[in-house]
A and B are shown apart, each in its own frame.
Chain A
Amino acid sequence: MATGRPNYKLLVGGLLLVVPFVILLAVSFGRDPRATPDALNGQPAPAFDLIDMDGNPVSLADFQGKPVVMNFWSTWCGPCKIEHPLLLEAPSHFPNVVFLGVVYQDDAAKARVYLDRAGSAYPHLVDPAGRLAVDYGVTGVPETYFIDAEGNIAYKHKGALSPGVLYEHLGQP
């Protein structure tokens, strides 16, 4: 076996080539390619003036000083139906929190039929042309935004809600 001084130039050159690649791969493979960043966390929640399904005007400014939970949902979304019973119960557990639903990429009439059948415990907003969803950076449903009493987005939850998520972000009722 040959022994002797290692070729340091070759060693350093090789490391310079390999190390950036290893770092790049380690970081890249550690990411979920479908994940989208929650860029609005900590930012002021975009204001809106919309009409709910009963025809009443609803504005985010109406709820200044109160935490708001805004849930984007649709009738064609399976996980939305899974979380619906939890959201029906939630306002009674968290009476100081404002709950709002936003019908996402769906027909308002279908949403009305669904809510008549499954129940509704808070206003559901109609989002014409999906502008509100764009302003909030919605990428799919269900997505739920926890807006703090100062009007900033505290947390965005993707997927069906669980009681643990509500307790974690709204505190004990």
Chain B
Amino acid sequence: MKTFLLMLMLSTTASAQDAPPTRAAFEDLVGIVGVEPAGTPPADDVVEAITVDIAEELRCPVCQGLSVADSQTETAVSMFDRIRELVRLGYTEQQIDEFFIGRYGEWVLLAPRATGFATLLWALPVFMILAIPLVLLGVSSARRQPEKPKDPTPPGPDDTPVDPYLQRVLADLEDS
């Protein structure tokens, strides 16, 4: 079903896909994106595959739970068409992601990048997997370990004093 809908969507936009961008259209698009394409325009027969790959990683802002590739809302279709235009001009996946992040924020990425607060999302599960066994190990060893007995014998008269001043006083007393 998903493939059928995708084919339907692609067939309805085939005319736009076949038309090469004019110089003016190219300059307009570069002006909108803000940077020149970093890559070279791909062959026509791989444009759609690249477009779908990129669209699958971007969130549809209307339905939110679906990717741009999966959603059939007009907004998603418009985004899909924009991705295709950018791919055809040679924009890289990273540049296209940046274009949409610049409009919708990092939120538009279905898989958040491991930067800033999102780092916590990636690091926390790993941290938990490592930390839980350590804590459990600590608890069980603390339970097994018998409590150290307190020193029952206070220092007796035979104990050697450690205070150097006291040692000198004692030595003086013995001499006298």
| Cβ contacts under 8 Å, A10 to chain B | 135, 138-139, 142
Whether A135 lies near B32 (C-beta < 8 A) is: yes
Instruction: Check A37/B104 contact, CB under 8 A, given A20-B127, A47-B28, A140-B62.
Output: yes
| Cβ contacts under 8 Å, A139 to chain B | 61-62, 75, 104
Tell me the dominant secondary structure on chain B's binding face: helix
Whether A105 lies near B75 (C-beta < 8 A) is: yes
- In B61-93, the 8 Å CB interface with A consists of 61-62, 64, 74-75, 77-79, 81-82
Whether A36 lies near B138 (C-beta < 8 A) is: no
Whether B103 lies near A40 (C-beta < 8 A) is: yes
Which of A34, A36, A47, A49 is within 8 Å of B104, CB to CB?
Answer: A36
Which of A17, A105, A140 is within 8 Å of B135, CB to CB?
Answer: A17
- In A110-160, the 8 Å CB interface with B consists of 129-131, 133-140
B117 within 8 A of A: yes
Whether A134 lies near B28 (C-beta < 8 A) is: no
CB distance from B161 to the nearest CB of A (A): 29
Residue tally, chain A, CB below 8 Å to B: 34
Instruction: Check A13/B142 contact, CB under 8 A, given A36-B104, A37-B107.
Output: no
Whether A24 lies near B124 (C-beta < 8 A) is: yes
| Cβ contacts under 8 Å, B142 to chain A | 7, 9-10
Which of A23, A37, A49 is within 8 Å of B105, CB to CB?
Answer: A37
Contact with B along A9-24 (1 / 0, CB 8 A): 1100110110011011
CA distance A136 to B104 in the complex (A): 9
Instruction: Check A16/B104 contact, CB under 8 A, given A27-B117, A105-B75, A133-B78.
Output: no
B131 within 8 A of A: yes
Which of B31, B64, B120 is within 8 Å of A20, CB to CB?
Answer: B120
CB distance from B31 to the nearest CB of A (A): 6
- In A1-54, the 8 Å CB interface with B consists of 7, 9-10, 13-14, 16-17, 20-21, 23-24, 27, 34, 36-40, 43, 46-47, 49
28 example contacts (A-B, Cβ-Cβ < 8 A) are as follows A10-B139, A10-B142, A13-B131, A13-B135, A13-B138, A16-B131, A17-B135, A20-B120, A20-B127, A21-B124, A23-B120, A34-B64, A37-B106, A39-B104, A39-B105, A40-B102, A47-B28, A47-B32, A129-B77, A131-B78, A133-B75, A134-B78, A134-B79, A134-B103, A135-B82, A136-B103, A137-B104, A139-B75
With A7-B142, A10-B142, A17-B135 known, 15 other A-B pairs at CB within 8 A are A10-B139, A13-B131, A37-B104, A37-B106, A39-B101, A39-B105, A40-B102, A47-B31, A131-B81, A133-B75, A135-B32, A137-B102, A138-B75, A139-B61, A139-B104
Closest 7 CB pairs of A and B: A137-B103, A37-B105, A130-B78, A13-B135, A139-B61, A39-B105, A105-B74
Seen from chain B, the residues whose Cβ lies within 8 Å of a Cβ on chain A are 16, 28, 31-32, 61-62, 64, 74-75, 77-79, 81-82, 101-107, 117, 120-121, 124, 127-128, 131-132, 134-135, 138-139, 142
